[in-house]
């Protein structure tokens, strides 16, 4: 979540700041440790523990949102939660099946919860008997079995370890329902549990790809540093993520579901849920389908990152069949396009309205999310000459030049695949500009983050919808009457008529504010209406709930070919309350 600047940011549990959830490495320089992460590009995240047995329910009540937080949300006393361990017997667990599924999905490493906030160790530990081998009838060590299976199948394995939050220990952070915060000795918890358990993980399971720390909360720089040094002393190649806190990680973990708008330097990853929870919840069926997963993977890779998609095995030890089926289908696509994913580089372009681009040497891979029904695909901003193009599973494509852009002739029928990929072969490294384009034949979002701003702010807004299912948006806000202007500069390759929609959120205070938009010498005035945004939600007593809607302004003619500017300003003081994420231009048909 990092530097969250504005309202719209919820105050986290127990009154701690939003920084309790996240943290950044503060590094964007050359990669020193873990260059393999750049080749891996796609990973399986696994949240599994006692909470999987509860499946999002406690005493007949369902807790929607992230299910691994159930002990906290239902305020389950330690003594009662321990009883879940006494019956946890996931006899369906098959390490090889999980690892083979990850491999079939095209994933190259696995990161699993060794100990989550509930304090329960999913491995044999001499430090605390609250572990799967000693406290459950299962008696097996799943991390041992996974390490062996990963070794056999050639995947890397890393461990999630909740270094700050531990609701099982009086000295760990976060359990206010069993113990008062006074008298808590966090250093004692670090010395007697976290550090020795991390040492066990780094000693007993062979090479560990990374320790994935989380929710740093009140941990001090000295404490974070001590943990990092412990990891690197025991395994110098083991990666530490930025959620160790205090800008000390080897690489950045972004907020979940957070995909940066532009290529981002350095080593980083986006963790993502498959539905709306990390751990298994019986009531959550909101799976991202194969195409959505593949598109999110491509978007992350095209910005230079690694996509870590989570699965939540159930209390029997099985990955939900629907989740597995979707992963297998993604894997067939990844397998056919491994060169465009594993070890692929970021896009040389600015925002491409119809899809994304990944690269390898002198080859560009165009991932066409929106297949044009005109039979023409405009590749804007490509200056390289002597381009040849081939459609995966098809043939050579005719290449033309129109108004300084490369135009490919495509078959009218969209190929039957998750994402059609076109490979452009160039004579040398890509010569491209990052200029934004608005193209006929596809939906063109003009995002908040790329606007030129005068006297208004770019705000990072994060919020939860159910619980812990973080959402992130960049918005234009802080509008001031008579001063603020946001403008988008872009190119067109031909004139066109577009429907313009404004995507925004607005509380009652901004209802009916008037706005003025100008493009190509034409001005349009329109109102924006209250979207039902709530500053506080009754459900948790904390957190803001923005409600994004789109308002259809109307049809506009854009001139072309050539440069174009679209500007927006409030005509009303009430505009101060409005936050805008994008203007969207869709061709009139």
Q: Is residue 255 near ligand JFZ by the rule CB under 6 A?
A: yes
Considering only 19, 141, 252, 256, the residue that binds ligand JFZ (CB under 6 A) is 256
Instruction: Give whole-number Cα distances, 69 to 218, 254, 463, 577, in Å.
Output: 19, 20, 17, 33
- Whole-angstrom distance, CA of residue 203 vs CA of residue 211: 13
Q: Which of residues 135-194 bind ligand JFZ (CB under 6 A)?
A: none
- Nearer residue to ligand JFZ within complex by CB, 310 or 513: 310
- Whole-angstrom distance, CA of residue 430 vs CA of residue 331: 28
Q: Is residue 19 near ligand JFZ by the rule CB under 6 A?
A: no
Q: Is residue 479 near ligand JFZ by the rule CB under 6 A?
A: no
Q: Is residue 21 near ligand JFZ by the rule CB under 6 A?
A: yes
Reduced to 3 states (helix: H, G, I; strand: E, B; else coil), residue 501 is strand
- Nearer residue to ligand JFZ within complex by CB, 12 or 442: 12
Identify which range of 66-74, 224-232, 297-305, 394-402 contacts ligand JFZ by CB under 6 A: 66-74
User: Minimum distance from CB of 214 to ligand JFZ (Å)?
Assistant: 5
- Whole-angstrom distance, CA of residue 313 vs CA of residue 48: 6
Long-range contacts, 355-362 (Cβ 8 Å, 24+): 355/298, 355/419, 356/295, 356/298, 356/299, 356/302, 357/302, 358/298, 358/301, 358/302, 359/430, 362/425, 362/426, 362/427, 362/428, 362/429, 362/430
- Nearer residue to ligand JFZ within complex by CB, 115 or 156: 115
Identify which range of 30-38, 61-69, 297-305, 425-433 contacts ligand JFZ by CB under 6 A: 61-69
DSSP code at position 572: S
Q: Is residue 493 near ligand JFZ by the rule CB under 6 A?
A: no
Q: Is residue 66 near ligand JFZ by the rule CB under 6 A?
A: yes
Tokens 């799943």 identify what position? 142
Long-range contacts, 397-406 (Cβ 8 Å, 24+): 397/422, 402/378, 402/493, 402/494, 403/493, 403/494, 403/560, 403/561, 404/493, 404/561, 405/378, 405/379, 405/380, 405/381, 405/437, 405/493, 406/378, 406/379, 406/382
User: Which residues does 404 contact at the CB level (< 8 Å), separation at least 6?
Assistant: 383, 493, 561
The string of DSSP codes covering 200-221 is HHHHHSSS-SEEEE---TT--H
- Nearer residue to ligand JFZ within complex by CB, 201 or 528: 201
User: Minimum distance from CB of 66 to ligand JFZ (Å)?
Assistant: 5
Q: Which of residues 496-555 bind ligand JFZ (CB under 6 A)?
A: none
Q: Is residue 51 near ligand JFZ by the rule CB under 6 A?
A: no
Considering only 53, 68, 141, 530, the residue that binds ligand JFZ (CB under 6 A) is 68
Q: Which of residues 273-302 bind ligand JFZ (CB under 6 A)?
A: 278
Identify which range of 5-13, 65-73, 395-403, 503-511 contacts ligand JFZ by CB under 6 A: 65-73
Considering only 19, 53, 214, 533, the residue that binds ligand JFZ (CB under 6 A) is 214
Q: Which residue is nearest to ligand JFZ (CB)?
A: 255
Q: Which of residues 395-454 bind ligand JFZ (CB under 6 A)?
A: none
Query: What is the C-alpha end-to-end distance of the chain, expressed in Å?
Result: 39
Considering only 197, 215, 235, 492, the residue that binds ligand JFZ (CB under 6 A) is 215
- Nearer residue to ligand JFZ within complex by CB, 543 or 575: 543
Residues at the contact surface with ligand JFZ, assessed by CB under 6 A: 1, 21-22, 66, 68-69, 214-215, 255-256, 271, 278, 470
């Amino acid at each position: 979540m990092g530097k969250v600047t504005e309202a719209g940011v919820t105050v986290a549990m127990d009154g701690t700041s939003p920084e309790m959830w996240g943290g950044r490495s503060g590094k964007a320089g050359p990669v020193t440790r873990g260059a393999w992460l750049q080749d891996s590009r796609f990973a399986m995240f696994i949240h599994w523990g006692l909470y999987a047995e509860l499946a999002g329910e406690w005493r007949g009540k369902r807790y929607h949102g992230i299910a691994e937080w159930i002990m906290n949300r239902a305020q389950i006393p330690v003594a009662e939660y321990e009883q879940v361990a006494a019956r946890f017997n996931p006899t369906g667990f098959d390490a090889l099946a999980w690892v083979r599924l990850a491999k079939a999905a095209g994933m190259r490493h696995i990161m699993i919860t060794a100990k989550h906030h509930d304090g329960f160790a999913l491995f044999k530990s001499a430090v605390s008997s609250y572990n799967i081998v000693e406290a459950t009838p299962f008696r097996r060590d799943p991390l041992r079995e996974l390490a062996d299976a990963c070794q056999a199948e050639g995947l890397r394995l890393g461990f999630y370890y909740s270094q700050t939050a531990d609701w099982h220990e009086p000295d760990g952070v976060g359990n206010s329902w069993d113990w008062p915060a006074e008298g808590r000795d966090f250093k004692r918890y670090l010395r007697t549990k976290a550090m020795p358990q991390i040492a066990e993980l780094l000693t007993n399971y062979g090479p560990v790809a990374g320790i994935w720390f989380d929710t740093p909360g009140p941990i001090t720089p000295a404490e974070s540093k001590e943990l990092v040094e412990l990891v690197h002393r025991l395994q110098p190649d083991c990666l530490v993520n930025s959620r160790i806190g205090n800008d000390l990680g080897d690489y950045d973990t972004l907020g979940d579901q957070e995909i940066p708008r532009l290529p981002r330097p350095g080593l980083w990853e986006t963790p993502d849920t498959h539905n709306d929870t990390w751990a298994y919840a019986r009531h959550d069926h909101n799976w991202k389908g194969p195409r959505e997963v593949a598109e999110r993977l491509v978007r992350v890779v095209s910005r230079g990152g690694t996509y870590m998609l989570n699965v939540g095995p159930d209390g029997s030890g099985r990955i939900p069949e629907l989740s597995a089926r979707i992963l297998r289908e993604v894997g067939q696509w990844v397998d056919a396009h491994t060169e465009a994913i594993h070890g692929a580089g970021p896009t040389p372009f600015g925002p491409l309205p119809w899809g994304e681009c990944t690269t390898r040497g002198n080859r560009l891979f165009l991932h066409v999310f929106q297949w044009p029904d005109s039979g023409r695909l405009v590749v804007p901003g490509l200056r390289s000459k002597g381009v040849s193009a081939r459609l995966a599973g098809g043939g050579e494509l005719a290449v033309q030049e129109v108004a300084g852009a490369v135009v490919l002739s495509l078959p009218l029928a969209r190929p039957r695949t998750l994402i059609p990929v076109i490979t452009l072969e160039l004579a040398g490294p890509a010569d491209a500009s990052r200029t934004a384009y608005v193209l006929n034949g596809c939906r063109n979002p003009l995002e908040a983050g790329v606007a030129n701003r005068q006297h208004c702010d770019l705000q990072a807004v994060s919020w939860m919808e159910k619980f812990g299912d973080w959402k992130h948006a960049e918005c234009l806000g802080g509008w001031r009457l008579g001063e603020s202007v946001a403008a988008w500069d872009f190119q067109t390759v031909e004139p066109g008529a577009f429907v313009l929609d404004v995507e925004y959120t607005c509380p009652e205070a901004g209802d009916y504010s008037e706005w003025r938009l100008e493009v190509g010498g034409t001005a349009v005035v329109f109102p924006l209406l209250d979207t039902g945004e709530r500053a506080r939600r009754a459900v948790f007593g904390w957190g803001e709930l923005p409600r994004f809607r789109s308002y259809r302004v109307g049809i506009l003619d854009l001139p072309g070919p050539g440069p174009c500017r679209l500007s927006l300003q409030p005509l009303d003081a009430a505009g101060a309350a409005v936050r805008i994420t994008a203007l969207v231009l869709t061709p009139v048909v």
